[in-house]
Structure 1
Amino acid sequence: MKIGILLTGHPPDELLNEFGEYDTMFSTLLEGNGFDYVSFAVVDGEFPASPEAADGWIITGSRHGAYEDLPWIPPLEDLIRAIQHSGRPLIGVCFGHQIIAQALGGTVEKFREGWAVGRTEYQLNGETVALNAWHQDQVTKLPEGAKVLGSNAFCRNAVVAYGDTIWTVQPHPEHTDGFQRGLIETRGKGMIPDPLLDSATMRMGSHDDNTRIAQFMADFLKKERA
């Protein structure tokens, strides 16, 4: 099965040698599922010809806001709607979660209560899961037909499904503690309040559910659909 990864951003240059691009993080996260990958740096204007370029799709995180006036965002929204229409599975993570909601009629905003950073717990399908978060923007209004699967007190729309083919998640199952530590050093300091960064650093090393969510993502992509 070929998975298309839509790159909506790049990691800080200082972290590339150790962690690679975001597509590398996702292929590592989903290792062992027999996927082949093709990547498109939509953030740089590189788009697939159609949804048929892959059997399933993943949209990555980004330092950009879904609401920003950037030339690649409208065609990405068009592609999201085309993928939905095609019936191919689509997963969005962080920015991907947000841009899918926006493309389908929802609203994304800078959350007035601030940032979520580091290991964060969510209620997902009645169970507690822990994933690394890194965001201030949130989906504040859901599109028609969206179903919330996961949330917490800070982020009401943390995991969302759109029918049987689209699943999105606000936190980052692809982020290891090491990558989060690198983000704190390269992007966090001076942008995010120090107490939040210090707290996130102290929570590193605790259990996370990256592997569990990765298996769900793989099963979702491979699922047989009518």
Structure 2
Amino acid sequence: MRIGILQAGHFPDELVPESGTYSDLYARMLDGHGFDFTTWSVVDGVFPDSPEEADGWLISGSRHGAYEDLPWIPKLEAFVRDIKASGRPLVGICFGHQVIAKALGGTVEKFGGGWSVGRQPYDFDGEEVLLNAWHQDQVTRRPAEAKLVGSSEFCENAALLYGDSIYTIQPHPEFSSREIEGLIRTRGANLPDEIKQGAAAALGQPDSNAAFGHRIAQFFLNARKE
């Protein structure tokens, strides 16, 4: 099964030698399930010709906001709607979660409550899931067709399901403590000290990355069987 990665941002150059690119992070997250990967750097204006170029799609994180006036964002929103119409599975992570919601009628805003950084607990239908976050923007109004499947005290709309073919999450199951530590070091200058200190204190603690990577892989595989 070929997964098309729609890369909406660039992982910091300083961290690539150790962590890899966004494409490397997602390939590692989904390792062991027989997937092949092709990446289109949509943030640089490089798009697939059609949803048929991959069996499933994943939209990455980004330092940009889904509401920003950038020429590639409306084009990405249109492609989201094309993927939905094709019936191919689509997963969105962080910015991907937000831009899919916006493309399908939701609202994304810079959250007044500030930043969520580092290891956070999420409630998935009574199951506690521990994943790393790095965001200030949130989906503040979900699309009418979106089903809420994961939330936290800080982020109400943390995971959304659209029918059987689109699954989106706000946190980053591809980010280990290594990535959070690196992001604090390279992009954390403007974060409040208490946010950085809390995230740093949780570095190295257990997370649900492996189990959630498996969950996303099964979503892709099960969606393609239908």
**Range into which the TM-score falls when normalised by the shorter chain:** over 0.9
Letter in 2 for 1:32: G
1:134-174 alpha-carbon deviations (Å, 9 max, x no partner): 00000000111100001011100001000000000000000
Which residue is 1:199 aligned to? 198
Q: Residue by residue, what CA displacement relative to the aligned partner does 1:18-63 show, whole Å, maximum 9, x if unpaired?
A: 1111010000111111001100000000000000010000000000
- Provide the rounded CA distance (Å) in 2 between the counterparts of 1:177 and 1:165: 30
2:54 is aligned to 54
Give the match for residue 181 of structure 2: 181
What percentage of aligned pairs have identical amino acids?
Answer: 56
Matches within 5 A, 1:81-160: 81-160=81-160
- Aligned-residue CA RMSD (Å): 0.7
Structure 1 CA distance, aligned partners of 2:175 and 2:152?
19
The SS at the match of 1:8 is coil
| CA distance in structure 2 between the partners assigned to 1:225 and 1:68 by the alignment | 36
Quick one: which amino acid aligns to residue 199 of structure 1?
A: G
Amino acid at match of 1:118: G
Q: Which amino acid aligns with 1:157?
A: N
Q: Partner of 2:79: helix, strand, or coil?
A: helix
The one-letter code sitting in structure 2 at the alignment partner of 1:149 is: V
User: How far apart, CA to CA, are the structure 2 residues paired with 1:154 and 1:225?
Assistant: 35
| 1:77 and 2:77 matched | yes
Instruction: Find out whether 1:24 has 2:24 as its counterpart.
Output: yes
Per mean C-alpha deviation after superposition, the further-off stretch among 14-23 and 36-45 is 14-23
TM-score, with normalisation over the residues of structure 2? 0.98
Runs of 4+ in structure 1 deviating by more than 4 angstroms, as ranges, are none
Deviation at 1:225, TM superposition (A): 4.3
Cα displacement (A) at 1:120: 0.1
Q: Distance in 2 between matches of 1:195 and 1:126?
A: 29
Q: Give the whole-Å Cα distance in 2 for the aligned partners of 1:172 and 1:145.
A: 23
Mapped to 2, the partners of 1:225 and 1:218 lie a distance apart of: 13
Partner residue, 2:166? 166
Partner Cα separation in structure 1 for residue 218 and residue 31 of structure 2: 12
1:211 aligns with 2:213: no
Name structure 1 gaps, 5 residues minimum.
none
Residue 207 of structure 1 aligns to a residue whose secondary structure is coil
Q: Tell me the amino acid that sits aligned with residue 61 of structure 1.
A: G
Partner amino acid, structure 2, of 1:215: H
TM-score (normalizing by structure 1): 0.98
The count of corresponding residues between Structure 1 and Structure 2 is 225
Structure-2 separation of matches of 1:209 and 1:118: 13
CA deviation digits over 1:61-114, x for unaligned, max 9? 000000000010011000000000000000000000000000000000000010
